[in-house]
Amino acid sequence: MTILDQIIKTKEIELQYSKDNTSILELEKLPVFERSTFSLSNSIKNSFHGIIAEHKRKSPSKSIINDSISINQVIDGYNNAGVSGISVLTDNKYFKGSLEDLLIARNMTKIPVLRKEFIIDEYQIIEAKAYGADAILLIAACLSIQKIKSLSECAKSIGLEVLIEIHNLEELNGCLIDSIDIIGVNNRNLKTFKVDIQTSKNLIKYIPSDFIKISESGLSNPIELKELKEFGFDGFLMGENFMKHTDPGLEALEFINRLK
């Protein structure tokens, strides 16, 4: 069983617990649910760097990255850095995240917020909207083509944008649909956790121009981003590179300044 398989198995158990304790009707009554969302796609397009900065305390491959700084400090720092989007991991067991983190981020910024989660059910999409997300992540590696369609259409119906994460051409071909806004090429193999930026370079030529295109994972220096920009990428999802520092926001600011 791969790490991804383990995470999905855990997620199924957690999902049932959430459904048993909080109904969709209760989620829809939460104050944030009715708010108008901010467009992550537009924010990326209107930025010269397109960086989505991530709040990430730990990961299955790296263990603890940074759990000593408060999310308030991280979000405040990312705000000051002028990032295009903020990704908030809400998985607790494997990443030490929470829905509370998502709500804190929402209340602190007008930068578009992405819920980074292993979404397998429409319930989690309603949950994302209720806690302040502007966009959700779907991972093609753990979803059927039919499920990608139904989940993305659910998200769009309540005003959320959809970022689909792909790792190969087969996954890409299954998600070229109208209800997807952003296609992210993950350079990390979720089965082996090996990172190879060549994955992005190999796949971008197959992504139609009407999608926003981002590269994810393993990005650590401005030269890489400039090169990937030349290949046609609009933006980049970066977490560990900022979070491994004592002041992630300051690191993001300095990184963006080096891109100018």
Q: Which of 41, 43, 56, 87 is catalytic?
A: 56
- Asked if 149 is an active-site residue, the reply is no
Quote the CA–CA distance of 62 and 102 in Å, as a whole number. 22
Residue numbers in the chain where pLDDT is lower than 70:
191
Whose CA is closest to 170, among 151, 196, 148? 148
For residue 168, what are the domain limits? 3-259
- Asked if 230 is an active-site residue, the reply is no
Q: Which of 117, 165, 171, 251 is catalytic?
A: 165
Q: Which of 11, 54, 79, 161 is catalytic?
A: 54
Q: Which of 171, 216, 240, 251 is catalytic?
A: 216
- Asked if 191 is an active-site residue, the reply is no
- Asked if 19 is an active-site residue, the reply is no
Q: Is the dihedral of CA 27, 31, 35, 37 positive or negative?
A: negative
The pLDDT assigned to 111 comes to 98
Angle, in degrees to the nearest 10, between helices 248-259 and 71-81: 20
- Asked if 93 is an active-site residue, the reply is no
CATH number, domain at 117? 3.20.20.70
* Alpha-helix runs per DSSP H in the chain: 3-21, 24-28, 40-45, 71-81, 99-108, 122-130, 145-157, 169-173, 198-203, 222-231, 240-243, 248-259
pLDDT in tens, 69-102: 999 999 999 999 999 999 999 999 999 999 999 9
- Asked if 226 is an active-site residue, the reply is no
Q: Which of 11, 59, 87, 116 is catalytic?
A: 116
The pLDDT assigned to 31 comes to 95
Structural domains counted in the chain: 1
The pLDDT assigned to 91 comes to 97
Side-chain half-sphere of 258: how many Cα atoms within 13 Å?
13
The pLDDT assigned to 1 comes to 74
Q: Which of 87, 179, 187, 217 is catalytic?
A: 217
Tell me the two tokens of residue 43: 């924010």
The pLDDT assigned to 114 comes to 98
